[in-house]
Each structure stands twice: as C-alpha cells, then as structure tokens.
Structure 1
C-alpha cells in the first residue's frame, strides 16, 4: 500500500517535498564528505509510518518494479558516461572483479552467515548475494566533494567494476532464490545460464549501441526535446528484448550505454547530461523507497546480526575477493587496499532486497533489515572515511597530475582555428557525418559575420572558420583530413 487515503494533490506535495529535501541534503553531504545517498535514506525513514511523515508504505512489489526500472537507467547512464579509452587498460581486472570477485565475496559472506550467525546455508548465500554489488558513483561523489582525484587507473577500475557487478549480483540473487524455492534445482544449470545470459547481454548491448547511434543521427527530428524520449524508449526496448530472448537485461543496459557513449551522435552532450540527471532521480527514488519500507521498531532485533554481517563483508569478504582477483595485477599493494575499502553499497542491494519477500521466503523481513544495515553502514562508515583512507594510502593524484578535468588555462592553449576550403571533403556534411575522434571538439563555427555553437546536425559550409579544441597531434591529424580536397 502506498500513500493510502491521500488525495492526489497531497501526493504531489509529499513527493515534491521529499525530492527537494533530498537534493538540498546533497549540499550537506558535500560539506561533510558523506555520500548524499545517506541523506536520501534518512529522508525516507523520516517520512515513513514511524517517522514524522507518517507515510505507510509496505508494497514490495511496487518497490521492486520501480527499482528495476531505476536500476536499468542507472546502469545505462553509467555506461553512457564511460570512456572506452579509460577503462580499456583495466578491462580484465574490472571484469574479473565484477564477476568472479562478486562470487568469491558472496561465498565468503554466505559461509560466515551460516557457520557463525547460524543461518541456513542458502539463506546466508542469498543475503550475501543481495549485498555484494558496489556503487562507484558514491565513491566519486565523495572524492569530488573533497576536491580530490584518484591516481593512475583506480578511477576507471572502480567505474568498470561497479557497472559489471550489478548484473552478477542480480544473477546470484535470482539463482539462490531458485535453489531455495524450486526443489531439485541444479547449480550446474545456473552455471550454464550464467554464461548464456551474460554473453547474450554483452552481444545485444554492443549491437544495440551501434544501431541506436545510427538511428539518432538519421532521425533528424524537428524538436530537440524529442531526442531524450528516443533514448529513454530505446533503453527500455533493449532491456526488454534482452530479457525476452534469455539475456541479462541489466548487463545489456550497461554495455548498451558504453557502446552508444563511445560513438558520435547528435546532441550527445545534452543527452548524456539528461541521463545523468535521470540516474540521480532514480537513485533518490530508490533510497527514499528503502527508507519508507524500513520500520525502525523492527530494526533492533536484527541490529546485532546486521552489524556483524556488515563488518565481515567490509573487513574480510571484500578484501579477500579483491586480493584474489587482483593477484596477477601489477597494481601496488596500496591501490589494492583502497579498492578493498572503496566497495560502497548503493542502489542495487535496495532493489534486490525486495526479491525474497516477493518469492515468499519466510526470512524475507530479516533479510531486508540485514541488507539495510549493509547499505547504511557501508555508506556511512566507508563513505565518511574514504578520502582520509585515500590520503593515508597515498593514492590521491598530485595537484599537477593530468586528468580529464583540466584547467581553463590549459584548455585555452589548445584552442585553434581551422578554415574549411571550398574543395574540402567536409563541405555540406554534418558534424556527425565527419566522424570526429573523441579528442577533437568544434566549439564554435564562424560563418561570414555570424557565429554559432554547433551540434551534431550543423552542416559545414565552404569558408567556415571552426574554433577547435584539441591536442596538437589530434588536431594536425584531423585538420589534414578536413582540408583535403573531396
């Protein structure tokens, strides 16, 4: 039941107030270096039936439906913002951490729940699977709030791991539920299904990304506001197709984002910003829903078990999985220790915590509350100490170290002008059709006595003066092609 008995006007007021309070709370998180997700969670609890808000909400089915949609868009936005050139050097480490690492951590935590906490083995593995995925967005938000950057390949590694471990955690959760609820279910069948689902998910995601880029470029819609509608519909379509043919829809959504984001298409920047904002909205909604689903009076009986389980996950299971998976890696010990500590829990465990209740598991409420402690303590303890730990381990980038966020002074030194001759192969072609590389950005087009900020549909004409932002090597390479006769 959700907001039962409230008129629609009051529902609007309640939802708007919760969203605004959550957004404003993110300002506080920047000041104290704690992920904003914690404040979203607290806002949901305060609005719940046992808080000042008095909103009674216990509809796990609705929470799961909203959560699945939210997670799909969160994964897509994460992939869309992922630069392939950044994650390619850590592709192997990230993929292993996101799959085998999740499995190792879940087995370790599940055995602890069974042997030490006295839970049935499959129930312990189920709880461990639910809480096994991490959230890189929370890590980067904490680092940005302190004005710090991670050195070397740490940032892309965490980024790739968090995107690839959500589908794995979901697969393990569904697999454990099947073993519990379906007598005679074979673990071997789950292994075969894993490879089929993940393979189909990756293949469909790559294919969909290539097709979607062509679709967006060829639509030539009369209203720019329709392009976000196209991408939203495409994300849902791709997820649905993957699930229908037996693939992992969540993996498909993430790979689809990566494949699309690393191609040139019209309104790329604005669409990326739109989906980033949509992903934030989805995270807020999910954490508010978790807060609403929690009944504080029921937390006390599960507090001891929840804290013990969370401590084991943070200090034992996560480091074991990281160090085993990164044995072949050339990363320094300090960097491996930081990766172990940077396993903040985020959106996925919230969605997965609703699965046992809908599957009719008797321990569903206990599982939900333990997962609540995993998310709460992880966000609070690891989030608040992330920057000090990074500084102590000396994994912060030096002030002068190269990074994606360069100073305006450095950028201005790379701004130069390129004149398009009448016989150029670029004449009468749109910016998208030029197939420009990632590091070559046309920021302004000067035509006769006017200037314009170009987008993907802007058509280049003879005599245009292009103000270009690029490094010397890339500029010289592309400029030669653009000024070459057709």
Structure 2
C-alpha cells in the first residue's frame, strides 16, 4: 500500500505543480515577467534545495519528456506557419539556422574555455548548447507582450527559430560523441549532417502527406482528429530518430505540410495542439527546474554570467550581421533579430544530453545553460517590446482580435463557417465591407436564426456567420474589430501618381479611363484593399485595377491611406507629353483636396 500511496502522492504533487504554473502565468502577464522563467522558478522551489524538498534526478524521464515536448512545439509551430509568408525569407532564415548557429557557438567557445577551464572541444560543446534560439520562448513572449512585428522581421524570426533547433541538436550530439569516443574527421561530420538533414526532410514531407491523406480519407469519429494528428506527429518524430535522421526537422516539416493543405477538422487540431504544447512546455520547464541545484550553481555562476553576456552582446549580433549581410535587411532589423535570440528550454534540454550519457563535467554544461536561459529571459525577454519600438520594427498595436467561431462543414474541405459578433465600431458595420472571397450565410438575432436578407440591415450585437476558405478565416478578424482612427496622409508623400486612400474608384476611373465594376464604384481605394486582400494591408501590397496596379504606400490605423498608381509601361514611358500633363493636372485637384491647399 505504501508504494501505491507514493504513486498517488507523485500524481498529486505533479498536478499541483502544473496547476501552479498555469495560475502563475496570470501574474506574469499582468506584471510582464517572462512566463517561462516562472515555470523554472516553480520547479526550483519544489526541488530538493527548495521548500518543496522533492527529490528528482531522473535524467532519462527528463530527456523523454523534453524530446516529446520539443517535438510537439516544433510541430505546432510548423502547423501554424504559412509557407507563403516565409517563402520570401527562406534563404536568410536557413543561413541563420545553420551558419548562424555555428558562428555563435564558435565565438562563444573561447570565452567558455578560459572562464570555465575547459578544453576546446568541451568549450565548443558549451557554445553549441546555448547557440540556438528557442521558438517557444520567442513567440510566447512576442504574443504575451502584444507585439506586431514588421512582416519580414517576424517571418524571419519564425522560420529561424523553428529550423535552428535540428542543427543545434545535431551539433551537440556530434560533440558529445566526439568527447565520448574520440576524434572524428570533419568530412565525416559534414556527411553525417547532410545525411540526417536529407533523411529527416524526406521523412517529414512523406509523413506529412500521409497524415493529410489519412485525415481526408479515413472517416474518424468526431473528436479523434486532433489526437490522431498529435500522435502521428510523434510517430514521425520517433521514426526519424530511430532511422538516425533529424526527428526535429522531420516533425517541423510535417507540420508545415499539414498546415498548408486543406484538411478535415483543422481548427480542432490547432486548438488541441495549442493546449498540448502549452502543457508540454509547463511540464518540461518544471522538470528542468527540479534538476537545478542552487548550491551547485554558485560555483560556476560568475563564469556562466560571462558566457551569457558574450553570447547575447557579441556572438549573436556578429553572427546575425554576418549571415544577413548578403540580404536586404537594414541595420535596425538586424539589431532586433540579434536581440531576439532568446534562449529557453531547448538550451537546458540540450545540456541534459551530456548528463544522460555520463560525460565528465556534465553538470557544468547544465548549470551554464540554466544561467544563460535565466539571464536571456530576464534581460532580453523584459526588453523585447521596448527594443522593437526603439528600433522601429514594431507596427502599431491592433485591437485585441474578436472572438472567432470556426465550424468545419462535413463533405468538403474548401469552405468553413466563420462566426463573429457585430461591433458598432467595426469596419463591417460602419462601412459594410466584407472580402470578396467570403459569403454571409446566416445571422443570429435575439435567439432567432435569419438569412442575411431577412436580417438586413445588420445591427450591433448580431452574430453573423460567413463561408470562407479555412486558410483565410483569420483574415476576417480585421473587419470585426473596432476601427482605429485613420492617419491623415502626409502631403509630402503625395506626388506624381500617388493619391489618398480615401478617394473612390469612380474618381480614379474618371481620370484614367479604367473600367470599374458598378458595385465597386463607390468604394474608396482603402476599401478596395480591405475587400480584395487575403490579409491585413501592408506597405507594398499590390492590387490590379483594370490596366493599372494599385500599390499600398502608407498604412494608418490599420488601413491604406496613401496609394501609389503603377501605370502601363507604354503610358509611363512612351505616352505623349500632353497625356502626362493632363493626368498630373487632374491629379493635382485630388492632391489639393487631400493636403488642404
């Protein structure tokens, strides 16, 4: 009976720790403390050196839980990644995820060697353990602080943090093997990396496609789709690892494949995985906190702080600036990407590998990684929002998104039912705008179900349901939040073929002779972007209007307020001078009304 009681006590204590971690996140969100740090501290307090006095030194269980948690985190990240959004930054992200990790490790190694009294291989292992950024840490803190990053910066961080873990894991395992077994040729290491990456990519792509086929062809009972996909992700991870391939790369690519193809129950899968990864992170950080000994940390604390500062202030910035030099990033964007190299559970998880295989000085690697993570979360985590605004890579904060209801429609994969509450200050209510790819289907008012025709006009407080493609459903949010005040266009921005977004298509058609649908004639240019873009408008977004192209030149209040006009080449370059002068004269009247002159 005593053994049964010990099992029950372990279940009770484990569940209480997890619950404490969840509840503590409320305080962290309120006061700005990084959430991941809270979970680590809870684990430390519960450990044998804290008031909890809980004895825990099971490294195998920690590695198992860490592997599963990291696999789910990477799969969830891939599932939420739109390939279209990262395609433009794939090259710089891959360079950062491979060459950047290697450079960071190499620059950090000399400091680790002399500060911790290690040989070069051991020092390089310290650098490899702390070299990669943590996807969970980066995006949890970005979302918790309500940051909206410039699209290119956000996409680069997303792709880098999701793909640098496999390379960091490979580098760590190679160095552990080198220390354990002996010397290995550089050619062998390169071939091994290429083999693991190629095989991992193959397993991930094939596994992702098989999961998509199974989801769409097998009639699973309602509610089992999400557990099936989660289990399939772990099967892909385990199969890749068993085949000596990169399981972390495989599971991330599988997530991207599944997330970018139409599947059944996509929304329930994403919701389930969101909860699963959140719980996995909590358990992982609590277990890692339990392994820490504050007394042991003190012996290497000063040296570990030196490693952390060099890593954040020297190694990571140098690696980022060198890797992004061939690409068109300005110095502010590079500086922010360098500062957002947050370290999280991945570093501590990698540091547990030397402990698991029984390397000498294994606990030193773990303690250094732990100190680096603590300093990174405190220093970089707390200043992330301030750095984004100071470096001008943060967009104005949007209103908190509306509560969106998404319902799958059995029998087809192209459309789903998306529901919103209608707000009195929303773009939909005040301007009657809705994207061209969505279709209002029903309205709920005072407990009654009405068709859009019966409910016309829509009133605040109504619930409206629309048909929309699943991959575009989130883009509907901007039509149902309170409208931000539009910024007045800067008169100095207005010049040849640049006009205010508040002018209507009919005014533009009158000047250029372009054909405009009668239904669109009263739309302003800003409305036209809202209706026809699949996402929130961004600077540089383009839309065709008959023979000309509209280009978003300036965004204010979440809407386009200055529009550039790209004329057909024959009119821009070889048209008669009188034609150009006439256009400028007519546009001058429009500019005068905008600038108040």
TM class by shorter-chain length?
A: 0.7 to 0.9
Aligned to 1:263: 261
Aligned to 1:63: 62
Cα distance between partner residues in 2 of 1:177 and 1:302: 21
Which is strand-richer, 1 or 2? 2
**What is the deviation of 1:29?**
1.6
Whole-angstrom distance in 1 between the partners of 2:17 and 2:436: 40
Contact residue 30 and residue 142 of structure 1 kept, 8 A: no
Between the aligned partners of 1:429 and 1:361, the Cα distance in structure 2 is: 54
User: For the Cα contact (< 8 Å) 2:438–2:466, is it kept in 1?
Assistant: no
Q: Is 1:199 the equivalent of 2:180?
A: no
Answer with 1 or 2: which has the greater Rg: 2
Mapped to 2, the partners of 1:153 and 1:128 lie a distance apart of 28
Q: 1:43 to 1:343 in 2, by over 3 A?
A: same
- Distance apart, 1:6 and its partner CA: 6.0
The alpha-carbon deviation at position 216 of structure 1 amounts to 0.5
Correspondence for 2:248: 250
Specify whether residues 280 and 408 from structure 1 end up closer, same or farther in structure 2 by C-alpha distance, changes over 3 A only: closer
Shift of 1:445: 6.8
Corresponding residue SS for 1:327: coil
For the 8 Å contact 2:129–2:369, the answer to whether it is kept is yes
In the other structure, the counterpart of 2:411 is 430
Q: Kindly indicate whether residue 8 of structure 2 is the aligned counterpart of residue 27 of structure 1.
A: no
Alignment equivalent of 1:326, drawn from 306, 324, 327: 324
Distance 1:313 1:213, change over 3 A: same
Which is bigger in relative contact order (C-alpha 8 A, separation at least 6)? 1
- Aligned match of 2:230: 232
- When residues 147 and 232 of structure 1 are mapped into structure 2, their CA distance, relative to the original with a 3 A threshold, is closer
From the superposition, tell whether residues 232 and 192 of structure 1 become closer, same or farther in structure 2 (CA, over 3 Å).
Answer: same
- Match of 2:149, SS state, is coil
Tell me the alpha carbon deviations over residues 409-446 of structure 1, each in whole angstroms, 9 at most, x when there is no partner: 9x9xxxxxxxxxxxxxxxx992216799x995678579
> Residue 34 of structure 1: CA displacement?
2.6
Residue of structure 2 equivalent to 1:351: 349
User: Residues 359-409 of structure 1, C-alpha deviation per residue, up to 9 Å, x if partnerless?
Assistant: 221111111111110111111111011111112112110357xxxx88669
User: In 1, distance between residues paired with 2:199 and 2:436?
Assistant: 32
Q: 1:10 maps to which residue?
A: 9
TM-score, normalised with respect to structure 2: 0.68
- The unaligned stretches of length 5 or more in structure 2 are 418-434, 452-464, 477-529, 535-597
Q: How many residues align?
A: 436
| 1:62-101 equivalences in 2 (<5 Å) | 62-101=61-100
- Could you tell me how far apart the structure 1 residues matched to 2:438 and 2:345 are? 34
| Higher mean C-alpha displacement, 200-209 vs 44-53 | 200-209
- Structure 1 portions without partners, runs of 5+: 412-427, 453-464, 476-486
Give the TM-score, by structure 1 length: 0.83
Query: Which range moved further: 314-323 or 4-13?
Result: 4-13
Shift of 1:354: 1.1
Q: Which residue of 2 aligns with 1:294?
A: 292
Residues of 2 paired with 1:272 and 1:444: CA distance?
24
Contact 2:132 2:343 (C-alpha < 8 Å) held by counterparts: yes
Contact 1:132 1:169 in 2 (8 A): yes
Task: Classify the secondary structure of the residue corresponding to 2:257.
Answer: helix
Q: Which moved more, 1:42-51 or 1:238-247?
A: 238-247
Shift of 1:335: 0.8
What is the Cα deviation at residue 230 of structure 1?
A: 1.1
- Name the CA distance, whole Å, in 1 between partners of 2:356 and 2:122: 15
CA distance in 2, matches of 1:204, 1:237: 11
